């Protein structure tokens, strides 16, 4: 799957996002991370090819992710759903 | 007709006005949402919600074509729709919309995860009564067959309250 990497100076946690390229809340979340200079990776689910999209959705399903975007996965275990700045920054100890 | 950000903006503005809603007060946020709608309209041929995953299949995305079926109850309950394109006056004046919970039923979100029709048949026979009724819009006469009246008339944008149930009665003439 085409993962986009955004480099920042803070990279103590692995931050991975499932987003939609068109979504306003996803954009706010990416901006928040960039503002805080956090390294993160993301996949825009809406631009994936059919089989990649299926794999992404199955991964979300496996993680019991709520059905909404963005989905923020920290260190491959903690999952935050939606634009929740305090929760995200709290999980990243910022 | 080609879709432009301006045409998307004008449609949203006039729709907000006609329903007493406001558009997102944050200019950058609003711009992002309008661009998202334009992208989806270019991509699918209809402006599906920028914050929900569309399938590209009209029938499956019908409920999330902006303004979506959930907008009016969401603005009524939370002061904003799911993507916060449409807000009420209080949220508009406060200047900073916050995310709201998803009202769309989970099974509609990813049809890919739904059981195949053949498997579904064993648990849910299709011959059961649907509980659907005929509703007509008292403002324009639009008629629809649904469980409950639509939140908004797709033709004239009248509110749910404008819908009445159609009951057919046959009376025998006695005179």
What are the boundaries of each domain within chain B?
Answer: 1-112, 115-175
The minimum CA-CA distance between B52 and chain A, rounded to whole Å, is: 7
Is pLDDT larger for residue B37 or for residue B156? B37
| A24-38, B72-86, B106-120, range with the lowest pLDDT | B106-120
Note whether B1-112 and B115-175 share their fold.
no
CATH superfamily of B1-112: Ferredoxin thioredoxin reductase catalytic beta subunit (3.90.460.10)
pLDDT at B128: 52
Query: To 10 degrees, the CA torsion angle through B40, B41, B45, B46?
Result: 90
Phi, psi of B101 (to 5 degrees): -70, 160
Q: What is the gyration radius of the CA atoms in chain A, in angstroms?
A: 12
Residue with structure tokens 């959705």? A57
Question: pLDDT (tens digit, 9 = 90+) per residue, B7-17?
Answer: 999 999 999 99
Is residue A11 domain-resident? yes
Q: Report the number of distinct structural domains present in chain A.
A: 1
For range B23-28, the mean pLDDT: 97
Residue of B nearest to A26 (CA): B51
Distance between CA atoms of residues A21 and B39, nearest Å? 9
Do B50 and A23 make contact, defined as CB atoms within 8 angstroms?
yes
pLDDT at B130: 64
Residue of B nearest to A61 (CA): B113
Residue B51 clears pLDDT 80, i.e. is over it: yes
Is residue A31 domain-resident? yes
pLDDT cut 70: percent of chain A above it: 100
pLDDT cut 90: percent of chain B above it: 58
Do A53 and B112 make contact, defined as CB atoms within 8 angstroms?
yes
Facing B113 at nearest CB: one of A45, A61, A84: A61
Best of A18, A21, A25 to substitute, by most chain B Cβ atoms within 10 angstroms, is A25
Residue of A nearest to B38 (CA): A22
Q: Which residues of B touch A (CB under 8 A)?
A: 24, 29, 32-33, 35-37, 39-40, 50-54, 83-85, 99, 102, 106, 109-110, 112-113
Is residue A88 domain-resident? no
pLDDT at B108: 86
| Those residues with Cβ within 8 angstroms of residue B106's Cβ, 6 or more apart along the chain or in another chain | A67
Chain A, 14 to 73: residues with Cβ < 8 Å from chain B are 20-28, 45-46, 53-54, 57-58, 61, 66-69
Do B32 and A27 make contact, defined as CB atoms within 8 angstroms?
yes
Phi, psi of B77 (to 5 degrees): -85, -40
Residue B22 clears pLDDT 50, i.e. is over it: yes
Question: pLDDT (tens digit, 9 = 90+) per residue, A14-45?
Answer: 999 999 999 999 999 999 999 999 999 999 99
Chain A residues whose beta carbon lies within 8 Å of the beta carbon of residue B102 = 66-68
pLDDT at B121: 47
Question: pLDDT (tens digit, 9 = 90+) per residue, B136-170?
Answer: 998 899 998 888 888 888 888 888 888 999 887 77
Is residue A81 domain-resident? no
Is residue A56 domain-resident? yes
ipTM of the complex: 0.93
Angle at B145 between CA B139 and CA B149, to 5 degrees: 55
| A2-11, A70-79, B113-122, range with the lowest pLDDT | B113-122
Question: CATH number of the domain at B115-175, please?
Answer: 2.20.28.10
Does the predicted TM-score (pTM) go above 0.90? no
pLDDT at B117: 57
The minimum CA-CA distance between A75 and chain B, rounded to whole Å, is: 24
CATH number at residue A8: 3.40.30.10
The minimum CA-CA distance between B146 and chain A, rounded to whole Å, is: 25
Is residue A35 domain-resident? yes
Domain span at A68:
4-76
Starting from the edge strand earliest in sequence, which strands make up the sheet with A71-74, in order?
A4-6, A40-44, A15-19, A71-74, A78-81
């Amino acid at each position: 799957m085409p993962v986009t990497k955004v480099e920042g100076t803070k990279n103590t946690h692995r931050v991975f996002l499932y987003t939609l390229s068109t979504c306003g809340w996803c954009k706010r979340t990416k901006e928040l991370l960039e503002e805080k200079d956090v390294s993160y990776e993301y996949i825009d689910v809406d631009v994936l090819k059919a089989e990649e999209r299926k794999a992404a959705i199955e991964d979300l399903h496996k993680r019991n992710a709520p059905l909404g975007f963005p989905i923020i996965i920290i260190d491959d275990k903690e999952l935050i759903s939606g634009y929740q700045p305090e929760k995200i920054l709290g999980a990243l100890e910022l | 007709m080609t879709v432009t950000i301006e045409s998307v903006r004008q449609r949203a503005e006039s729709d907000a006005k006609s329903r007493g809603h406001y558009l997102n007060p944050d200019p950058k946020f609003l711009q992002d949402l309008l661009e998202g709608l334009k992208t989806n309209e270019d991509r699918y041929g209809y402006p599906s919600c920028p914050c929900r995953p569309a399938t590209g299949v009209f029938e499956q995305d019908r409920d999330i074509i902006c303004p979506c079926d959930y907008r009016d109850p969401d603005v009524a309950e939370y002061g904003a729709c799911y993507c916060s394109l449409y807000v009420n006056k209080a949220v508009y004046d406060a200047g900073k919309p916050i995310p709201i919970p998803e009202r769309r039923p989970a099974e509609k979100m990813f049809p890919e995860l739904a059981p195949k029709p053949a498997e579904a048949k064993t648990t849910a026979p299709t011959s059961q009564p649907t509980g659907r009724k005929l509703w007509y819009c008292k403002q324009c006469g639009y008629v629809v067959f649904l469980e409950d009246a639509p939140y908004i008339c797709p033709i004239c944008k009248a509110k749910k309250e404008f819908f009445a149930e159609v009951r057919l009665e046959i009376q025998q003439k006695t005179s």
